[in-house]
Amino acid sequence: MKRICIVLSILIALSGTLLFAAGETEQTTGSSVIIRVADNMPGLITPGQWNGQAFSLNSSVYDYPVVLDPDTGELKGEVLSSWESEDGLRWILTIRQDIVFHDGSTLDADDLIFTLERTQDSTVSHVKQKDFEIIESVNKIDAYTVEVVLKEVRPGFIYQLSDYNMAVLSRDYDYSALGETSPMGSGPFTVQELVNKEYAHLVAFDEYWEKGFPLSDEVHIYFVSDRDTALSMLINGQVDIVPFITPIMKQRVDSHEDIYVTVPYTEQRFLSMRVDAPPFNDNTVRLALKHSLSPTLLARGLNLELGSQFYYSEGPVMETQSQFVQTGPRKRDPQKARDLLKQAGYPEGLTVTLTYAGDHAFNQAIAQSIQEQAKEGGFTILLKGYPRDIYFSQYWMQVPLSITTWGGRVDPAVLLSLAFDSRGVWNESHVKDPVLDEIISSILTEVEAGKLDMLYRELQEYFYDVGPLINIQVPYLVALTSSISGYTQPLTMLPVYKYIEKLN
Amino acid sequence: MNSYLSTVFSKVGSLLATLLVISLIIFSLVELMPGDVAQMILGQSATEESLRELRQARGLNDPFFTRYGRWITGVLRGDLGDSIYMQGVPISSILWRKVGHSLFLALTAFIIFVPVSIVLGVIAGVKEKKAADSIISFTGLATMALPEFVSGVILISIFAVRLKWLPIVSVIPIGQTLFQNLDILILPALSITFVMFGYVSRMQRSSMIIVMNSDYIKAARLKGLPERYIIFRHALRNALLPTITIIGMNMGWLFGGLIVVETLFGFPGMGSLLMTAIKTRDVPLIEACVLLITVIFALSTMTTDLLYGYLNPRIRFKGGQR
């Protein structure tokens, strides 16, 4: 018995030791105004390498050359005080003179040049390398002015500088060694502590160039891999903001008076038909599928309302963008769909596999709704949902029918050149039509607004008639406590925490 | 004692060999996981060129045994490698913080379930076939049959949602420590207790019944010793041995089983870290976590074996040696 007692005593002593060992010494916060966020678990977070999971952190730590004004939808300068180009080929970018990085160094022309040239640095594997290949040269005019010369005319080039991977970085900071552990920029908040895979503790940057901002003292970001757990934290009062929830999750908070849900922007899901192989190389089949689907039923299947948070079109421009042209709606007509299939040589109907990333919000529900609706139109759709890495590495751009998540581009022309041009690197429908190439090329180089509007109309009519795409636009939902006001997150996906107010 | 020492050395040798084989199995299984690490890192917007460069830079194109050799020699030197998502950050710097949290959670559960299970197991054994025995045995069976995620949800519904006594999610507020937030441990620890209680109390009950029916206990009763004295001084010390074995064997399982509980409660421990690593295909981190769980499992099993020998005179004094 004595020996048993000894063993049990050792175990209890060991647990007591661990109790104190687990208690790391950290400073507790006083009466500061703290914004608490339960965000997604990030992957790589260094600008140029991150894969879109660290929006709260990066938008707070870094500044961007230009940002999208969520109220007007127009670009406004952040690091840039102004920009100009007469021909869309030579750009003059002027930098504010009052910006300093968190390490105290001044942000000037050399930092902007470093940021732009870094996109082409092969050791970085910059995700925007293709987008910025168009730059011929970057030249320093003076300490705060940079000249960018492009290889081709690009009136919309400036929009590319609002991308979430284009934060302005310090030329003197070693981002390859420190970017993942000690992010350093010139943004409204500095990193006090970053515990990888757990949390980020940000505090207001005293020398931030925009005087009077940020409005809060600290931002606490919890990295939570499970969205339901994140929502539980909100319900429990442990956080104030939970980005990226689904409509089903929204139902959990609908009964909570102190929680509301906002839709800062919409995302796109492309139902893409591969046109270089049967069966979708025949436009009759594409039309048959389009006639099988009802936007209203699709919206209902996602617990959404058509026209407010859910949009549906057959072109690549989002309904919320100024370039959008109404070409539909096409009436759902399953009988016509069956007739078209018969005409295309499928009198008994057509069986096709729909492949998608099942772990992206809405994709599974969209796929099931399409499967159900298309059945009446003579389509037997087999569903194959995969984790997103498997989808993108093994199936994307290979399969006849797919659903892919596409973030909205501030300038739709950027997306057109990537996804629908014959030479586009992510031409998932494999469309290679000189007519479409010509329209896209004209859009990319057109300077005059009136002509550009005409080109966008022509583009969207083309897609309505023969396009390989159904564009389903779904809301990006964010749940917040009622104490939070001023939450904004434009199409660039970067939430702006510096303007958020928290009422106690 | 020499015999006991040679047993210890033999078990340690066997443990090291087992771990070496298991490390190869872990590495092979992680290799078989579907998905492309480079694609996962660079995401949808990755070009074939950037994917190729990343694979090259990370040595992902090297032959299997080259990569295994690189990994295992690193582990032997104490270098668990770098996380794919945290360039320049040693895995050990992330891992030990989480392991500390998980160990603390496991030990909290241990402190709750061991005394409760032993006491109730003893009562059930002594009161065999009476009402107390039936209630305790039924409760043990019921809690053992309930998976942690079910008992966890029930506990959350009662204590967090309805009564609002405890937090729904067991996160440590930023700027504070686990020590300042001990209440976040209660629900996860109770979930674990629910499962472990069944195993331990039933084992304690069975061994207590066997001991209480043995000749030396009958002799003690015939001598007129008080029942309480017989139970605590004669019966319990022998009846505890199988229970300790079960507890020790389950410590390894308990640590691995924390994945479910930690994920359910959002507790920042090694289980949730492993789950995140799996979701993001963070191969070095998965390998480190699984290897560590294996080491803990193997160590707890070996410790139990040695403790059993230490506590049981029939094994300790083998062949009449002292």
CATH number, domain with residue B186: 1.10.3720.10
Element (H, E) at A287: helix A283-292
- pLDDT of A475 > 60? The answer is yes
The predicted pLDDT at position A22 comes to 44
Residue A239 has pLDDT above 50, yes or no: yes
Domain identity same for B260 and B121: yes
Subunit contact A18:B94, Cβ cutoff 8 A: no
Nearest residue, CB atoms, A233 vs list B101, B108, B169: B169
In a domain, B188, yes or no: yes
Q: Between the CA of residue A186 and those of A56, A158, A174, A303, A399, what are the distances in Å? A: 15, 20, 15, 41, 43
Q: Order across the sheet with A145-150: list the strands.
A: A80-84, A90-95, A145-150, A135-142
| For B115, nearest residue in chain A (alpha carbons) | A8
In terms of C-beta density within 10 A (0-12 exposed, 13-18 middle, 19 or more buried), how is residue B94 classed? buried
Claim: this prediction has a pTM higher than 0.80: yes
| Final residue belonging to a domain, choices A141, A160, A179 | A160
Confidence label for A25 from pLDDT (cuts 50, 70 and 90): very low
As given in the structure block, the two tokens for residue A234 are 């909100």
Q: In the prediction, which pLDDT does B13 show?
A: 86
Region A137-148: mean pLDDT is: 97
Identify whether residues B41 and B144 lie together within a single domain.
no
Q: Which residue of A has its CA nearest to B46?
A: A127
The reply to whether A235 and A366 lie within a common domain is: no
Q: Answer yes or no: is A178 within a domain.
A: no
Sign of CA dihedral B53, B54, B58, B61: negative
Beta-strand pair A218-223/A34-39: parallel
Same domain, yes or no: A74 and A36: no
Mark whether B68 and B138 lie in a shared domain: no
Domain final position from B55, B77, B99: B77
Peptide bond into A468 cis (omega under 30): no
Would the pLDDT of A355 be above 90?
yes
Q: Alpha-carbon distance A1 to B203, whole Å?
A: 18
**What CATH number is associated with residue A335?**
3.10.105.10
Residues of A with CB below 8 A from B168's CB?
232-233, 235-236
The residue behind tokens 């020398």 is: A207
pLDDT (tens digit per residue) in A402-447: 999 998 888 899 899 889 999 888 899 999 999 999 999 999 999 8
Out of B49, B94, B179, whose CB is closest to A22? Answer: B179
Domain-embedded: residue A470: yes
Sign of CA dihedral B239, B244, B249, B250: positive
Within 10 angstroms of residue A214's Cβ, the number of other Cβ atoms is: 24
- Domain total for chain A? 3
A1/B contact by beta carbon, under 8 A: yes
Q: Which of residues 335-364 of A touch B (CB under 8 A)?
A: none
**For a pLDDT cut of 70, what percent of chain A falls above it?**
93
Please give the DSSP secondary-structure letter assigned to residue B82.
B
- B211 lies in the same domain as B233: yes
Interchain pair A22, B176: CB under 8 A? no
- In single-letter form, the type of residue at position A133 comes to E
Q: What is the CATH number of the domain that holds A106?
A: 3.90.76.10
Structure tokens given for B28:
């092979």
**What confidence tens digit (pLDDT) does each residue in A245-270 have?**
888 888 889 999 999 999 998 999 99
pLDDT of residue A147: 97
Q: What is the pLDDT of residue A162?
A: 93
Condensed to tens digits (0 to 9), the pLDDT of residues A288-326 reads: 999 999 999 999 988 888 888 899 999 999 998 889 998
Cα separation, B121 vs A36, in Å, equals 46
Q: How many CB pairs under 8 A join A and B?
A: 181
Q: Distance between CA B135 and CA B290 in Å, rounded?
A: 38
Query: Do residues B98 and B66 share a domain?
Result: no
Contact map slice: A 306-335 vs B, CB within 8 A: none
Interchain contact, A177 vs B46, CB within 8 Å: no
| Residue spans of alpha helices (H) in chain B | 2-32, 37-42, 48-57, 64-76, 91-126, 131-145, 148-155, 186-212, 215-222, 227-229, 236-265, 270-279, 283-311, 313-316
CA–CA min distance B285, chain A (Å): 11
CA atoms of A200 and A178, how far apart (whole Å): 15
Residue B201: which domain range?
Answer: 91-315
Nearest CA in chain B to A178: B88
Same domain, B123 and B205: yes
Residues A358 and A380 in one domain: yes
- Determine the pLDDT at residue B164: 87
End of a domain among B77, B100, B120?
Answer: B77
Q: How far is A3 from chain B (nearest CA, A)?
A: 6
Q: Six-digit token pair at A491?
A: 């199409």
Same structural domain, B12 and B56: yes
- The answer to the question of residue A134 being in a domain is yes
Does residue A18 sit in the same domain as residue A100? no
What pLDDT, on a 0 to 100 scale, did the predictor assign at position B321? 47
Number of domains in chain B: 2
**Mean pLDDT (10-residue bins), chain B, 322 residues:** 74 86 86 72 68 79 86 84 71 85 89 90 90 91 87 91 89 88 92 88 91 89 87 83 81 77 89 83 84 86 79 61 46
Tell me if B36 is assigned to some domain.
yes
Closest Cα to residue A355, out of A308, A319, A394? A394
Q: How many residues does chain B have?
A: 322
Whether B169 and B72 map to the same domain: the answer is no
Q: Closest approach of chain B CAs to the CA of A94, in angstroms?
A: 29
- Name residues whose C-beta falls within 8 Å of residue A96's C-beta, 6 or more positions apart in sequence: A77, A79, A80, A81, A107, A144, A209
Look at residues A110, A141, A160 and tell me which one is the last residue of a structural domain. Answer: A160
B126 and B47 in one domain? no
Asked whether the predicted pLDDT for residue A4 surpasses 70, the reply is no
Q: Is the pLDDT of residue A18 over 80?
A: no
CA distance A389 to chain B (A): 5
If asked whether residues A216 and A280 sit together in one domain, one would say no
* A141 within 8 A of A149, measured Cβ to Cβ: no
Contacts of A115 (CB under 8 A, 6+ apart): A65, A166, A167, A168, A169
The answer to whether A275 and A287 are in contact (CB under 8 A) is: no
A504: pLDDT strictly greater than 70: no
- Residue B280 has its nearest CB partner, among A19, A43, A233, at A43
Which residue is closest to B311 within chain A, CA to CA? A3
Q: Which of B87, B265, B280 sits opposite A180 (nearest CB)?
A: B87
In a domain? residue B121: yes
Q: Does residue A299 share a domain with residue A443?
A: yes
**Confidence label for A9 from pLDDT (cuts 50, 70 and 90):** low
Q: Do A25 and B177 touch (CB under 8 A)?
A: yes
B295 lies in the same domain as B241: yes
Task: DSSP letter for A397, please.
Answer: T
Contact B322, B120 (CB under 8 A): no
Looking at the structure, do residues B262 and B121 belong to the same domain, yes or no? Answer: yes
Kind and range of the H or E run holding A85: none
Judge if A114 and A24 occupy the same domain.
no
Same domain, A362 and A240: no
Return the CATH number at A239. Answer: 3.40.190.10
Establish if A434 belongs to a structural domain. Answer: yes
Shared domain for A58 and A114, answered yes or no, is no
Q: Which residue of A has its CA nearest to B308?
A: A4
Report the candidate in B122, B285, B131, B289 with the shortest Cα–Cα distance to residue B208: B122
Is the same domain home to B157 and B281?
yes
Q: How far apart are CA A328 and CA A330, in angstroms?
A: 5
Strand A484-485 with A90-95, pairing: unpaired
Please say whether the beta carbons of B315 and B303 come within 8 A: no
pLDDT of residue A425: 81
Report pLDDT for B284.
82
Domain contains B86: no
In this complex, do A24 and B97 lie within 8 Å of one another by their Cβ atoms?
yes
Contact A389, B35 (CB under 8 A): yes
CA A131 – CA A48 distance, rounded (Å)? 12
Smallest Cβ distance to B35: which of A1, A41, A393?
Answer: A393
Residue with more model confidence, B226 or A458: A458
Q: Which domain holds residue A404?
A: 266-475
Contact B175 A25 (CB under 8 A): no
Last residue of a domain, one of B77, B105, B140: B77
- Work out the angle at residue A51's Cα, subtended by the Cα atoms of residues A45 and A54, and round it to the nearest 5 degrees: 45
Query: Are residues A43 and B167, on separate chains, in Cβ contact within 8 Å?
Result: no
Work out the minimum CA distance from B44 to partner chain A, whole angstroms: 6
What's the one-letter identity of residue B286? I
**Mutation target among A225, A359, A391, A426 for the B interface, most CBs of B within 10 A:** A225
Three-state DSSP string of A204-221? ECCCCCCCCCCCCCEEEE
CA distance B162 to chain A (A): 12
Cβ atoms of A305 and A473 closer than 8 Å: no
- Indicate the average pLDDT of chain A: 90
Identify whether the C-beta of residue A164 lies closer than 8 Å to the C-beta of residue A493: yes
Higher pLDDT residue, A230 or B10? A230
**B57 lies in a domain?**
yes
Determine the distance in angstroms separating the CA of A288 from the nearest CA of chain B, rounded to an integer: 29
Write out the DSSP string of B143-198.
HHHS-HHHHHHHHIIIIIIIS--S-SS-PPPTT--GGGGGGGGHHHHHHHHHHHHH
- A346 and A408 share one domain: yes
A329 assigned to some structural domain? yes
Given this model, what pLDDT does residue B322 score? 44
Q: How many CA atoms lie within 13 A of A373 on its CB side?
A: 23
Q: Does A52 touch chain B (CB under 8 A)?
A: yes
Number of neighbours of residue A171 by Cβ within 10 angstroms: 16
Residue A175 belongs to a domain = no
- Whether A165 is covered by a domain: the verdict is no
Residue A273 and residue A127 in one domain: no
Pairing mode of beta strands A401-406, A259-273:
antiparallel
Which residues of chain B have a CB within 8 Å of the CB of A130? Answer: 47
Is A215 domain-assigned? yes
- B87 φ, ψ (degrees, to nearest 5): -60, 135
Of A7, A25, A224, the CB nearest to B307: A7
Interchain contact A81–B (C-beta under 8 A): no
User: Do A6 and A103 share a domain, yes or no?
Assistant: no
Average pLDDT over residues A343-364: 93
Quick one: closest CA in A to B109, which residue?
A15
Cα separation values, B90 from A196, A454, B78, B94, B280, Å: 11, 56, 10, 7, 17
